A and B are shown apart, each in its own frame.
Chain A
Amino acid sequence: MLLVEDGLGICVVHLSLSLSLSLSLSLSGAGGGGNDVQWCFSQVKGAIDDDVAEADIISTVEFNHSGELLATGDKGGRVVIFQQEPENKSQPQCRGEYNVYSTFQSHEPEFDYLKSLEIEEKINKIRWLPQKNAAQFLLSTNDKTIKLWKISERDKRPEGYNLKEEDGRYRDPTTVTTLRVPVFRPMDLMVEASPRRVFANAHTYHINSISVNSDYETYLSADDLRVNLWHLEITDRSFNIVDIKPANMEELTEVITATEFHPNQCNTFVYSSSKGTIRLCDMRESALCDKHSKLFEEPEDPSNRSFFSEIISSISDVKFSHNGRYMMTRDYLSVKIWDLNMESRPVETYQVHEYLRSKLCSLYENDCIFDKFECCWNGNDSVVMTGSYNNFFRMFDRGQKKDVTLEASRESSKPRAVLKPRKVSAGGKRKKDEISVDSLDFNKKILHTAWHPQENIIAVATTNNLYIFQDKLN
C-alpha cells in the first residue's frame, strides 16, 4: 500500500494502481504546471483610463488562507477586499468571480511634528490572519503603524424595540402599553471593517514587512534596521528581536529588506538584507536574535561586477515555500530558491530579465533599478511567479524546468482568452512577435503578484489595475 499526498488530500493507493494515479495527478494539476497550464484572462479591476491617480497605485496584493478573499492595498491608504463568488452549480467548471466585498480607508497621511516628516499612508503590506470565527482579520501597515482590522458581515438586524422606533427615535416610555421581544430580521448584507488594534510608535525607520506567526498569536514587523515581535492582543508593547543599527551610523553597510516567519516552526524566521544575504534566526536561542542561526549567501560573480552590483544584489522579497523546506528570494534580476539546509548557495536560480543587465545605467537614472519586485509560490510549491516590466510577469516551473512570460494588458482582456506567451529579444535579430528590450515600457511594472493557495488562480497588479487569471478548465 502506498500513502500519497497531493494538494487534494491523502489517498491510499494500491501499488498496482500507482501508474493510473500518477496520470490523474498530472491531469488534475492542482496548483501546478507553469507550462501545462494555459492561463486565461478572468477579470480586471480598476479604472480603465491611462491617467493614473497616484492614490490608486496598488501597493500590495494578498489572498487569504482559503483563497476566498483577495485584498489589495494602494498608495492612498485604502484596502479593497474582493470575495470569490461561490461556484455556480450549473457551471461547475467555471470558478467564481471575485467581486468587491469591502472597501475601507486603512491609513491616513500623518505628520510627525517632532521630526517634521510626513508619513505616507501607502499600504506597504497586508497579511491575513487565519479565520477563527465568522469574522475575518487582517493586518495592514504603512511606513510606521500596523493596524488589525476586523471585517465582519451583518445580514440581520434587530427589530421591534420597545423604547425605540424603527427609525431610531426614542419613544416616550409613558406611551408604551405592551412589551415585545425584539427579533432579528434579515437585511441586505453589510460588510463592516473596524480597526481592532493599532500598533504604533515602534518603528523609527520605514516598515517594509509584516509576517504572522504560525502560532496565530504573534507577528513580526520589520523596518530598515530592526525587527519587532508583537502579540496580536497587546498594542502598547513589542519586543525588539533584531537590531542591526550600528553604534555609529556612519558605519552602516546594509539594511533589512524583508522578513518572514517560517510557516510551520513558530520559533524560526528569516530576514533578508540589502547586501543579498538572508539570515535565519531561532528565537529560542536568545532574546535578541542579532546572531543568526544560518546565513544564506551566494558569493558574487566577479565577472559581473559593475557600478550597480550592490543595488541589483539587494533582496526585495523573501518567501518561504508552503512546506517550509525552501525559501525564495527576489533580487533585481533573478529569483533564487534556497534549501534551508544549504547556506552556501541557492539550489535554483531563475533569471527574470537578464536582458536588463546591459541597461543598468539607464535604469539607475530613471530609478527603475530601485523597484522592489515581489515573488510568490503556487499552492504546491512547484511553480514560482514574479513580475517584470512592460506589464510582463514570469512563471518558473521548478519541476519541468520551464518558464513562461505572460502579459497583463487590456488587449488580452477578453473573457477566458488564453494568454499568449511573450518573448523579449535581447539583441540582434528580433523575431516576429518578439519585443525588443528598447521598446519595453518601464513605467508599466508588475511588482505585486499573488497565487491562490489551492487553485490555479493568480492576481497580478499592474500600476492601478488588478488582473485575475485562471487556468483553462476543460
Chain B
Amino acid sequence: MINTMECAMDAQSLISISLRKIHNSRTQRGGIKLHKNLLVSYVLRNAKQFYMNEKYAEIYRMQQYEEVMTVCNEIQELNPLDLAEDIAEASGDCCSQGAGSPLLMEPASVCCALPASNHSAHTPQQQLQAPAACSAAAALALQNEEVCKETNSVFFRSCCAEAYPVTDCDFSSLSAVHCNKTTVLDLDTHVVTTVESGYLHQDCCAVPCQGAQAPAKKRKFDFGCYATESEEVPDFTPCKRARFEDFYCPHSEQLDTSNISNLISIFGSGFTGLVSRQADSEFSLNGQFCSKQTLASLGAWTRAIVAF
C-alpha cells in the first residue's frame, strides 16, 4: 500500500525524525503549531502502520515455521508443567509491578493484542503512542529484561512476561481455545505466545482491569505546552493517544538508529525528562541524537516502543 520505493529511509528512521520534530516544536517561537504537528502525527501513523505490516508479514512466515516445530515438539517429551512454572514466575514478577500509576499500567496491556490496525478511519491519535507512554513501557520492559530475555525470536516477550493467563491457554496444542488462538512456542526461551490470525488477541490477556480499559481509555499525554486554550489544557494532545492494545513487541533485530535508542533515555523519565535533559551535554536538541546505546537497551526499546 505504501510506496516506499522513493524512500531510502526506513519506517523507524521516519519515526525517530518525527518524534524529534515534535520535540523541537515545543521550543519553537510562537508556540506549538497545531497544523504541522498534526501532519507529523500522520507520518508517524503511516510509518507505524508500515512497520507493523512488515512485522506481521514476518510473523506469518515465522509462525508457519514454528507451527511445524511445535508439532515436532509434541512428539518430543515436553513437560508442560515446566513451561507453566516459567510463565507463572514471569507473570508474577510483572504483575507485582502492575499496580499504581498509569505509567505502569501500560506495559501490562502490552500483552493486549493488536487489533487490525489498518483502520484508515481511525485518527492517528488512536494509533500512536505518546513518547511518554513508550517510555513507560520501556521503563518497565527494562525492568523485566531479565525475565523477558532478548533473543532472536520474533515473539512478543513482554506480553508473555505479563500476566498471561496460563491457565486459559493450552500450551501444547495448536487447537483453538476459547479465543481461537494458535499457540506458538519459542524454542529458545520456552515461552509460549498465542497468535490469533496473526494478531495477539486482547482477550487472551485476561489482565485484571488493564485489558478491559485498554480500548476505551486513552492516556493523556502531559504535553503542557500544547495548551493553547485554558480549557483545553487537560485534553489537548496533538501527539496523539497511546492505545496500549496497539503495543506489541517486535523481535530484537538490531535497530541501527541510535536516534530511537537515545530517545528512550530521554523519554524514560516522562516528558519532564525532556526538560531536565536539555542541560545534558550528551543530548543535542538540534542535531544528531548522540551516544549509542547497548544492544540490550536497544532491544528493550524495540520491545517497548512498538511500531511507533
Using CB atoms and an 8 Å cutoff, list the residues of chain A in contact with chain B: 114-120, 122, 143, 204-206, 208, 224-225, 248-255, 257, 274, 302-311, 314, 357-361, 364-365, 367, 370
Q: How far is the CA of A15 from the CA of B285 in the complex (A)?
A: 72
Taking CB atoms, residues of chain B closer than 8 Å to A257 are 35
A303 contact from B3, B17, B50, B240, Cβ within 8 A: B3
Taking CB atoms, residues of chain B closer than 8 Å to A205 are 34, 228
Taking CB atoms, residues of chain A closer than 8 Å to B8 are 361
Q: How far is the CA of A359 from the CA of B240 in the complex (A)?
A: 27
Q: Return B37 CB to nearest CB of chain A, in Å.
A: 10
Further 11 A-B residue pairs, CB within 8 A, beyond A117-B228, A225-B34, A306-B6: A122-B30, A143-B31, A204-B232, A205-B34, A250-B126, A250-B237, A274-B39, A308-B43, A311-B43, A361-B14, A370-B36
- Count A-B contacts at CB 8 Å: 115
Q: Report whether B228 and A249 are in contact in the complex, using a CB–CB cutoff of 8 Å.
A: no
Q: Is B227 close to A, CB under 8 A?
A: yes
Q: Return A367 CB to nearest CB of chain B, in Å.
A: 8
Q: Report whether B230 and A114 are in contact in the complex, using a CB–CB cutoff of 8 Å.
A: yes
Q: Report whether A305 and B2 are in contact in the complex, using a CB–CB cutoff of 8 Å.
A: yes
Q: Which of B184-241 contact A (CB under 8 A)?
A: 218, 225, 227-230, 232, 235-238, 240-241
Q: How far is the CA of A251 from the CA of B238 in the complex (A)?
A: 9
Chain A residue with the shortest CB-CB distance to B7:
A361
Taking CB atoms, residues of chain B closer than 8 Å to A224 are 34-35
Q: Return A223 CB to nearest CB of chain B, in Å.
A: 9
Q: Report whether A307 and B29 are in contact in the complex, using a CB–CB cutoff of 8 Å.
A: no
Q: Report whether A117 and B14 are in contact in the complex, using a CB–CB cutoff of 8 Å.
A: no
15 CB contacts below 8 A, A to B, read A116-B225, A118-B31, A120-B29, A206-B31, A224-B35, A252-B125, A252-B238, A255-B35, A257-B35, A274-B39, A306-B4, A306-B6, A309-B46, A361-B6, A370-B36
A118-B30, A119-B31, A249-B232 known; A310-B42 Cβ under 8 A: yes
Size class of the contact patch on chain B = 35 or more
Taking CB atoms, residues of chain B closer than 8 Å to A359 are 6
Q: Report whether B2 and A307 are in contact in the complex, using a CB–CB cutoff of 8 Å.
A: yes
Taking CB atoms, residues of chain B closer than 8 Å to A367 are 21
Chain A residue with the shortest CB-CB distance to B229:
A204
Taking CB atoms, residues of chain B closer than 8 Å to A364 are 14, 17, 43
Q: Which of B3, B11, B50, B126 has the most CB of A within 10 A?
A: B3
Q: How far is the CA of A310 from the CA of B35 in the complex (A)?
A: 11
Q: How far is the CA of A302 from the CA of B1 in the complex (A)?
A: 8
Taking CB atoms, residues of chain B closer than 8 Å to A314 are 35, 39
Q: Report whether A252 and B7 are in contact in the complex, using a CB–CB cutoff of 8 Å.
A: no
Q: Report whether B228 and A115 are in contact in the complex, using a CB–CB cutoff of 8 Å.
A: yes
Taking CB atoms, residues of chain B closer than 8 Å to A365 are 17
Q: How far is the CA of A249 from the CA of B125 in the complex (A)?
A: 9
Q: Return B217 CB to nearest CB of chain A, in Å.
A: 11
Q: Is B64 close to A, CB under 8 A?
A: no
Q: Which of B30, B227, B232 has the most CB of A within 10 A?
A: B30
Taking CB atoms, residues of chain B closer than 8 Å to A114 are 230
Q: How far is the CA of A360 from the CA of B14 in the complex (A)?
A: 12
Q: Is B255 close to A, CB under 8 A?
A: no
A307-B2, A308-B43 known; A117-B238 Cβ under 8 A: no
A119 contact from B3, B30, B124, Cβ within 8 A: B30
Q: Return B126 CB to nearest CB of chain A, in Å.
A: 8
Q: Is B134 close to A, CB under 8 A?
A: no
Taking CB atoms, residues of chain B closer than 8 Å to A204 are 228-229, 232
Q: Is B119 close to A, CB under 8 A?
A: no
Taking CB atoms, residues of chain A closer than 8 Å to B2 are 305-307
Chain A residue with the shortest CB-CB distance to B236:
A249
Taking CB atoms, residues of chain B closer than 8 Å to A309 are 46
A251-B123, A307-B14, A311-B42 known; A206-B33 Cβ under 8 A: yes
Chain B residue with the shortest CB-CB distance to A309:
B46
Chain B residue with the shortest CB-CB distance to A316:
B35
Taking CB atoms, residues of chain A closer than 8 Å to B7 are 306-307, 360-361
Interface 1/0s, chain B 45-65, versus A by CB < 8 A?
Answer: 011001000000000000000
Q: Return B174 CB to nearest CB of chain A, in Å.
A: 37
A252-B38, A255-B38, A361-B9 known; A307-B31 Cβ under 8 A: no
A117-B228, A120-B29, A204-B228 known; A304-B123 Cβ under 8 A: no
Q: Report whether B46 and A307 are in contact in the complex, using a CB–CB cutoff of 8 Å.
A: yes
